[in-house]
């Protein structure tokens, strides 16, 4: 698998490919990097790969159920 070739900043919305202009959204993949997950967007039109940042994976036990957050609308 190739490395993402471009970093893109997500402002209000990112649904069109910055490279080809395709507006069908993106496929999403993840790559583990130590304690983080890199989020990678892949354009279904041109196949170009973008990275949008990394998220830290929480350590330890999952948080307990919180009805105020987890119950939904």
Q: Does some domain include residue 63?
A: no
- For the cut 90, the answer to whether the pLDDT of residue 11 exceeds it is no
Q: In what order do the strands lie in the sheet with 49-56?
A: 6-7, 49-56, 36-42, 27-33
* Domain extent at residue 23: 6-57
Q: Does some domain include residue 26?
A: yes
Q: How many domains does the chain have?
A: 1
- Please list the alpha-helical segments (H only) found in the chain: 67-70
E strand residue ranges, the chain? 6-7, 27-33, 36-42, 49-56
Percent of the chain having pLDDT more than 70?
81
What does the pLDDT average to over 7-16? Answer: 88
Q: Does some domain include residue 62?
A: no
Q: How many CB atoms lie within 10 A of CB 26?
A: 20
User: Could you read off the pLDDT of 23-58 as tens digits, one per residue?
Assistant: 989 999 888 877 778 888 999 999 999 988 777 766
């Amino acid at each position: 698998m190739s490395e993402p070739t471009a970093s893109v900043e997500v402002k209000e919305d990112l649904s069109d490919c910055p490279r080809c202009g395709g507006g069908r959204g993106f496929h999403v993949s993840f790559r583990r990097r130590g304690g983080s997950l890199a989020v990678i967007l892949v354009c279904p039109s041109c196949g170009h790969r973008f990275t949008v940042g990394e998220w830290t994976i929480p350590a330890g036990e999952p948080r307990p159920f919180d009805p105020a957050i987890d119950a939904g609308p």
